[in-house]
Amino acid sequence: MIARLWHGITPSSKADDYLDTLNKTGVRECRATPGNRGVYVLRRIDAGVAHFLFISLWDSMDAGERFAGAEVDRARYYPGDREFLLEFEPTVTHRET
C-alpha cells in the first residue's frame, strides 16, 4: 500500500472553512477513485497558522496515479484553494506502508 502525503498552510482564522473545502474537494475525489483505501486530514494550529497534513492511502502507485495524473508527485490543487492557502507546495511525497 502507498501513502500520499501533502502539506498545506492557512491562516488559523480560515482553518475550519478550509477543512470544509478539503472535505468537499480532495477528500471526496480521493475516496471516489478506484484503489483508494482511505483519507486522513490532520490539522495543527501553531502561531496563527494551521498546518494541514493530507494523507491518502492507495493500493499501488498506479491507483494513486488515477487520482493525481501522470505526474504523480505533483501536488493537486483546486480553484478554491487560492482563498485559503498561504503557499503552494509543488510536490507531494509517497511512502510505502
The predicted-structure confidence for 62-96, as pLDDT tens digits, reads as follows 999 999 999 999 999 999 999 999 999 999 999 99
The predicted-structure confidence for 28-71, as pLDDT tens digits, reads as follows 999 999 999 999 999 999 999 999 999 999 999 999 999 999 99
pLDDT at residue number 77 = 96
Looking at the structure of the chain, the number of domains it has is 1
- Could you tell me the residue range of the domain that residue 49 belongs to? 2-96
CATH code, domain with 66: 3.30.70.100
Distance separating alpha carbons of residues 74 and 24, to the nearest angstrom:
20
**Do 72 and 2 contact (CB within 8 A), yes or no?**
no
pLDDT at residue number 44 = 98
Predicted structure pTM score:
0.93
pLDDT at residue number 79 = 92
Distance separating alpha carbons of residues 93 and 84, to the nearest angstrom:
22
